[in-house]
Structure 1
Amino acid sequence: MDRLIYLYGLIPRKEEGQQPLPPLKGFDGTDNLYTIPIGDITAVVCQLDPEKYSEESIKERVNDDMEWLQEKAFHHHETVMALSKIFTVIPLKFCTLYKNPDSLKRAVQSNRSNMLYTFDLIAGHEEWNLKMYCNDQLLKKQVSGSNPVIEAKREEISQLSKGKQFFEKKKLDKLIESQLEEEKNKISENIHLHLKELARKGDVKKAWSAAATARKEDMAWNGVYLVEKSKVERFLEQIQQYEKELRENGWQLEASGPWPAYHFSSFS
């Protein structure tokens, strides 16, 4: 029975000729990674026992063994990170498996044009992530005191009888909440659009809840950017400037990277 092929990533074959593959242990912790040339593309892989690492057994471990999952996911991430420091890498998702080298070669060959385009896109670039958090109470205080829509509503309420004011103040609270969300989105989108101008590409990811981040604040924005290496310093300085300008109103901006270009490369 053929041994399974675990695929970490794809690199341009010409780069493999310029820099040897570092000695990195594979998924099972025994054999080293090796490469499989596929035309002008090289796959970085390791071999696995098909009985021990069948699709069914991996699903079972993923569902039932959190410690194993964390260990193996960390191994995959660290391996792809190490490769990305040396090569232009199209990183693959955790546990991308092929039954044999031939099935891998067919998959790469059928996606060759997309892979070559992606190499051109990400070469010389780094992926950076920006998570934006906002203390709603601080920003609400600023919005409540300076928003013309809210001020107009307050003025309207002040002209009403005491009985009517009670119900209208309930509406005012809802108006303040909606204006708060508009302000958060406006600030976040403006920052995102400006950062996109400094990057080759930028995209928006799903914001995480406070439960997922273990923070008091919900995440207001989650952006990812493909930045040319020569422009990274300017990119990060701009984020620091936004952080300084917005801190008084409850904003925190957290940039992280560089990461392998997971969000700007795909392999069907």
Structure 2
Amino acid sequence: MSDVQAPGSGFYVYGVTRGLTGEEVGDVRGVSGAPVRLIEKDGLTALASEVSLSEFGEAALRENLEDIEWLESTARAHHAVVDAVSDGAATVPLGLVTVYRSEERVREALGARHEEFARALDRVTGRTEWGVKVYADVKQPEAAAPAGKEAPSRPGTSYLQRRLVQRNTAEEERRRVLDVAEYIHCQLRDLAVATRLHRPQDPQLSGEQGWMLLNAAYLVDDTRVEEFGDAVKHLTRLDPDVRVRLTGPWAPYSFATEEEPEEEVEEAWQGS
């Protein structure tokens, strides 16, 4: 028997799981400090909190989503619930601020998207998401001397000097570090069951200097986590101008939906 819904309230849904009991949720609190409750349908369980529509209704959200402090607080609470539950059961996170007007609407969504959620849970069970970010510390090369201004030299030296300048152009440096990033991605992709390539982050958000060459997520079997970590450590030594950052483990936000075609590393670079 479900609890009576308060007037003017709805249900904020954090994610979908299965095989979870109320005891495992414990005293986890969600957005606005609301307790987390379980709403079940056909073997799937939605993690939800009853919330006021004066704050989470459509009209209110248009204003609240423009409030950075409100958005950050809501995001922290959302992620905290998903992280707490995913430690004990495979969980498919939903997008931030997914709100339904009633418990019955939540059940209808579980039924309508049952196959999609079941496939996603199968995909992430026994696996965790790891993030790998690759940055390049490459200095811009000095401009080449104008043609006809080379100092006198022995035969053949001028040709070698010109080739050296060409090799050190910005484009060559760009290509070189991109090749390193692509190699890193290929090596790690072979150790993962799925990957996602994200757009580079704004340096003001990441706090990192230099070019962001790769911003990738890897879904890794829990039995291969140590192997994956060792591979990242090895790849950090590939090139002194390239820095590799490993983050995680994370709840599988990047793998909550069906697999999409990967972007090329080159395209990710161009998006920076």
How far apart in 2 are the matches of 1:18 and 1:197?
A: 38
Deviations 1:167-211 (A, max 9, x none): xx8xx6797211122112211111111111111111211112433
Given the superposition, is the C-alpha separation of residues 183 and 174 from structure 1 closer, same or farther in structure 2, using an over 3 Å criterion?
A: closer
- What is the aligned partner in structure 1 of residue 27 from structure 2? 23
Q: Please tell me whether the aligned partners of residues 7 and 45 of structure 1 are also in contact (alpha carbons under 8 angstroms).
A: yes
Given the superposition, is the C-alpha separation of residues 210 and 17 from structure 1 closer, same or farther in structure 2, using an over 3 Å criterion?
A: closer
How far apart in 2 are the matches of 1:132 and 1:175?
A: 21
Give the secondary structure class of the aligned counterpart of 1:44: strand
Which of 242, 247, 265 pairs up with 1:251?
242
Which of 247, 250, 265 pairs up with 2:256?
265
Which of 173, 184, 187 pairs up with 1:194?
187
Given the superposition, is the C-alpha separation of residues 53 and 203 from structure 1 closer, same or farther in structure 2, using an over 3 Å criterion?
A: closer
Given the superposition, is the C-alpha separation of residues 180 and 110 from structure 1 closer, same or farther in structure 2, using an over 3 Å criterion?
A: same
Structure 1 gaps, min length 5 = 145-153
Q: Aligned residues: percent identity?
A: 21
- What is the aligned partner in structure 2 of residue 105 from structure 1? 107
Give the structure-1-normalised TM-score. 0.81
- What is the aligned partner in structure 2 of residue 4 from structure 1? 10
How far apart in 2 are the matches of 1:27 and 1:70?
A: 11
Give the secondary structure class of the aligned counterpart of 2:31: coil
Give the structure with the higher percent helix: 1
Given the superposition, is the C-alpha separation of residues 216 and 16 from structure 1 closer, same or farther in structure 2, using an over 3 Å criterion?
A: closer
Deviation at 1:245, TM superposition (A): 3.1
- What is the aligned partner in structure 1 of residue 138 from structure 2? 136
> Residue type matched to 1:111 in 2?
R
Give the structure-2-normalised TM-score. 0.80
- What is the aligned partner in structure 2 of residue 161 from structure 1? 148
Alignment root-mean-square deviation, CA: 2.8
Q: Please tell me whether the aligned partners of residues 209 and 218 of structure 1 are also in contact (alpha carbons under 8 angstroms).
A: no
Deviations 1:129-174 (A, max 9, x none): 000111012xx77xx9xxxxxxxxx9xx99x6339x9xxx8xx679
Structure 2 gaps, min length 5 = 1-6, 151-157, 259-272
How far apart in 2 are the matches of 1:176 and 1:115?
A: 49
Which of 166, 176, 187 pairs up with 1:183?
176
- What is the aligned partner in structure 1 of residue 219 from structure 2? 226
How many residue pairs are counted as aligned between the two chains?
240
